[in-house]
Amino acid sequence: MKLEQIKTPALMVDLDAMEANLRDMANFFAGRRCKLRPHFKNHKAPILAWRQMRAGAIGITCATVREAEILVEHGIDSILIANEISGAEKPEVLAQLARHASVMVAVDNCHSVRDLAAAQRNRKSQIEVLVDVNIGLNRCGVEPGQAALDLARYATEHGLAVRGIMGYEGHLQAVPPSPERDEVVRRGTKAIVDSAALLETEGISASIRSTGGTGTYAVAGDYAGITEIQAGSYLLMDNIYVSRRAPFQRSLTVLATVISTRGRERAILDCGVKAVSGERGLPILKDVPGAHLTALNAEHAIVELDADSRALTPGQKVEVWVHYSDATVNLHSNMYGVRHGELEEIFPVAH
Amino acid sequence: MKLEQIKTPALMVDLDAMEANLRDMANFFAGRRCKLRPHFKNHKAPILAWRQMRAGAIGITCATVREAEILVEHGIDSILIANEISGAEKPEVLAQLARHASVMVAVDNCHSVRDLAAAQRNRKSQIEVLVDVNIGLNRCGVEPGQAALDLARYATEHGLAVRGIMGYEGHLQAVPPSPERDEVVRRGTKAIVDSAALLETEGISASIRSTGGTGTYAVAGDYAGITEIQAGSYLLMDNIYVSRRAPFQRSLTVLATVISTRGRERAILDCGVKAVSGERGLPILKDVPGAHLTALNAEHAIVELDADSRALTPGQKVEVWVHYSDATVNLHSNMYGVRHGELEEIFPVAH
């Protein structure tokens, strides 16, 4: 297949940029005690998970039981589901996976602990858990310290294998680096490390202390006692992380075709919210100065052109920089890897 | 499969509500000269397209060549792509489809006409087109009247079969019915009908005059000379069309599981923007008074609970009313049809 044959809208990855990101992150962790367990939810591409493993990752982080299933199917055998699961169905699937791979899961409440314990009894397997502590995001997680210890004890009593502590500072990914922000990051990592120490004092194993994202990996990865980092967006990057000054290159665009124009002022592209997410912000046109993407409909992007912008013509292909990669990759079945204008490889996205 | 076995997040259709919508819309068109060609982009489910056909639809409208391919694969043989296409690849696919079914496509520019003409020459088929006129949305479409006639002539000269005129008043779908709004709708329909008359005066066939959506079908469908209506959202409905006072019932929810709680004040659900669109607005909890969905992350929904709301517990399942059905259905592979709390059938969503 040639680049010209790709039907728009299509998700494109600049291979030079992506490989530079892969290398730069690997270099950061080379020789460090803290290791990278990159998040799968961002790219959802098993091929890319394997490239991260070969670049030194100790395993893969993911968000859902379905993602863990995909990873196990693709031969990854050390997985962290950095998220709570609950109910009857998903713990059963997890307990089955646990017979074939090490799959840790976050816990932050007694209901989930009981659901997981019931599932592992049914499946005769051993589920491993990290106690999730709230380090300021106020989404999931128990309070660090005593509440984390109480839940770890409860999990142990129910036969789950406690492996350590995790906490995700999602609210701090949005803040560009500064001495003040970095100090707040360190307060969160300290709460994780201290909670793990408390568990170990009480005889509960807590050798894994996991945290960090693409905005905070450097600070969290330098903090003594943190053993692994969950960053994932670094590989493909997006406009959000560029605005947060993450030190990686954008690689992800959506290729679109101009399908209609209104004079020189306006062009309509065939990429709407079914092909590129408008959540959190709009994409930006690549290499068309003076052209502004001003709205996304279901199947259309509206582009307004300044008077001195070059004209766009129906049939012409343009690219837009993805604003929010998690939500955009999720809309596609393939990513097209391009180098110097040539299609080099295709990365299937698993759902 | 039983309702309890469905893994969350999952897309649910209340069959009683959907069937009432199907029946009510069919009743509107029964005995009318104007007919319904419902839009596929909303539900993307071939089974539902066939139910619409059996309820009296004269064919199916869709937004993309891919959707037309899916429809042809599922035996629908009268299709309108109510959207412009351009470039080399998609006109080739369309020209191939045109060998097996009647597939009309909107045109609004000479570039697209030439692309379509080249493709039908290559594939030795006959492409049918509607000239798309701008009736106020200012997205695609040429101006009604002379510009429409000029483009129809250009298309005819290039060997395309002109079938008529279409125009979509997307901007008026957002305005609840009122005598003033209805008058604006009629001005748009008049421009379509007048443009078609102009083509016919000049010897170009224009027997098809297509317009209308779920917010305007009644006014447009009553206008003399309009032959078909493109409304699609009526079948499943969503919070957007409820706020616009469209006379149909919401049938579409996302089933989610509570995975974490913070006291009685806050609950976290496992449905984020990968399962329910946050474009244009947030979903609303069904049957949990005092509970407010306040944010969507990639894999999480944040729910704030009033003091007098009943508590939510990890493991519990809840439903949220979909705000924007087009963008939400697109995130799923199946819709689960439920009646009186029992799973009755599964509608595959085609991509």
Chain A residue at shortest CA distance from B271: A64
User: Do the chains contact at A274 and B139, CB–CB below 8 Å?
Assistant: no
Q: Are A268 and B84 within 8 A, CB to CB?
A: yes
Are B170 and A297 inside 8 Å of each other by CB?
Answer: yes
pLDDT at B145: 98
Q: Do B326 and A274 touch (CB under 8 A)?
A: yes
pLDDT at B173: 86
* Residue contact A87–B5, C-beta within 8 A: no
Cα(A40)–Cα(A43) distance, integer angstroms: 6
- Cis status, amide bond into A179, omega within 30 of 0: no
A173 pLDDT above the threshold of 90: no
pLDDT at residue A1, rounded to an integer = 84
Above 90 in pLDDT, residue A174? Answer: no
Of A93, A274, A333, the CB nearest to B330: A274
Shortest Cα distance, chain B CAs vs residue A30, angstroms: 30
In three-state secondary structure terms, A347 is strand
**What one-letter code names the amino acid at A167?**
G
Chain A residues within an 8 Å CB radius of B258: 86
Kindly determine whether residue A111 and residue B268, on different chains, have CB atoms separated by under 8 Å. Answer: no
Confidence (pLDDT) at A133:
98
Percentage of residues of chain B with pLDDT beyond 70? 100
Pairing relationship of beta strands B291-296 and B301-305 according to DSSP bridges: antiparallel
Query: Which chain A residue has its CA at the smallest distance from B7's CA?
Result: A89
Residues B8, A87: C-beta atoms closer than 8 Å: yes
> What is the per-residue pLDDT for B84?
98
Pick B87's closest partner by Cβ from A112, A315, A327.
A315
| pLDDT at position A77 | 96
* B87/A327 CB distance under 8 A: no
Q: Considering CB atoms only, which of B6, B112, B259 is closest to A314?
A: B112
Using pLDDT thresholds of 50, 70 and 90, give the confidence band for residue B159. Answer: very high
Compute φ and ψ for A7, nearest 5 degrees. Answer: -80, 130
3-state secondary structure of B40: coil
Q: Which long-range contacts (CB under 8 A, 24 or more apart) does A277-280 make?
A: A277/A322, A277/A323, A277/A324, A277/A327, A277/A328, A277/A330, A277/A331, A277/B273, A278/A323, A278/B279, A279/A324, A279/A327, A279/B273, A279/B278, A279/B279, A279/B296, A280/A240, A280/A323, A280/A324, A280/A327
- Give the mean pLDDT of chain B: 97
Question: Distance between the two ends of chain B, CA-based, in angstroms?
Answer: 23
Test A259 with B83 for CB contact under 8 angstroms: yes
Tens-place pLDDT, residues A289-307: 999 999 999 999 999 999 9
Q: What is the pLDDT of residues B24-80, one digit of tens each?
A: 999 999 999 999 999 999 999 999 999 999 999 999 999 999 999 999 999 999 999
Contacts of A271 in chain B (CB under 8 A): none
Which residue among A64, A273, A279 places its CB closest to the CB of B299? A64
Verify whether the Cβ–Cβ distance B260 to A108 is below 8 Å. yes
Residue B318 has pLDDT above 90, yes or no: yes
Cis previous bond, A9, omega within 30: yes
Of A270, A300, A333, the CB nearest to B139: A300
Of A139, A260, A298, the CB nearest to B302: A139
Distance from CA of B170 to the nearest CA of A (A): 10
Q: Mean pLDDT over all residues of chain A? A: 97
**Cβ proximity of B332 and A274 under 8 Å:** no
Is residue A171 within 8 A of residue A137, CB to CB? The reply is: yes
Would you call B326 and A89 a contact, using CB atoms and an 8 Å cutoff? no
What is the DSSP code (8-state) at residue A58? S
Other beta carbons within 10 Å of A313 = 12
**Per-residue pLDDT, A310:** 87
Q: According to the model, what pLDDT value does residue B174 have? A: 83
Instruction: List C-alpha distances in Å: B167 to A24, A81, A260, B12.
Output: 52, 49, 14, 32
Q: Can you say whether residue A203 is alpha, beta or left, with left for phi > 0 and alpha for psi between -120 and 50 degrees?
A: left
Q: Which two tokens stand for residue A314?
A: 């129906």
Strands A102-107 and A78-81, sheet pairing: parallel
User: Considering only CB atoms, which chain B residues are within 8 Å of A68?
Assistant: none
Q: What digits encode the pLDDT tens for the residues B75-120?
A: 999 999 999 999 999 999 999 999 999 999 999 999 999 999 999 9
Which residues in chain B are contacts of A5 at CB distance < 8 A? 89
* Cβ-Cβ contacts under 8 Å, B4 against chain A: 88
User: What's the whole-model pTM score?
Assistant: 0.96
Find chain B residues with C-beta within 8 A of A87's C-beta.
8, 257, 315, 317
**pLDDT(A224) > 90:** yes
Q: B257 vs A86: CB contact, 8 Å cut-off?
A: yes
A113 CA to chain B: closest CA distance, Å?
Answer: 10
The H or E element containing residue A342 is strand A342-348
Enumerate the β-bridge partners of residue B180.
none
Residue B325 confidence class, pLDDT cut points 50, 70, 90:
very high
Residue A70 is given by DSSP the state: H
A116 within 8 A of A91, measured Cβ to Cβ:
yes
Q: B86 contacts in A (CB within 8 Å)? A: 257-260, 270, 314-315
User: Is a pLDDT exceeding 90 seen at residue A34?
Assistant: yes
Q: In this complex, do A277 and B274 lie within 8 Å of one another by their Cβ atoms? A: no
Q: What pLDDT band is residue B142 in, cutting at 50, 70 and 90?
A: very high
Q: Give the per-residue pLDDT at B310.
A: 87
CA distance A227 to A232: 16
Q: Which two tokens stand for residue B335?
A: 């819709």
* Number of H-type helices and E-type strands within chain A: 11, 17
CB pair distance less than 8 Å for B87 and A261: no
Q: What are phi and psi for residue B290, nearest 5 degrees?
A: 85, 0
Quote the tokens at residue A160. Answer: 């789950």
What pLDDT score does B105 carry? 98
Gyration radius of chain B over CA positions: 22
Shortest Cα distance, chain B CAs vs residue A109, angstroms: 7
CA distances from B4 to A285, B284, B315, B336 (A): 45, 22, 12, 12
Contact call for A299 and B273, based on CB within 8 A: no
SS (H, E, C) A159-216: CCEEEEEECCCHHHHCCCCCHHHHHHHHHHHHHHHHHHHHHHHCCCCCCEEEECCCCC
Residues of A in contact with B279 (CB under 8 A): 273, 278-279, 296
User: Does B348 have pLDDT greater than 90?
Assistant: yes
Question: pLDDT confidence of B253, banded at 50, 70, 90?
Answer: very high
pLDDT at residue number B134: 97
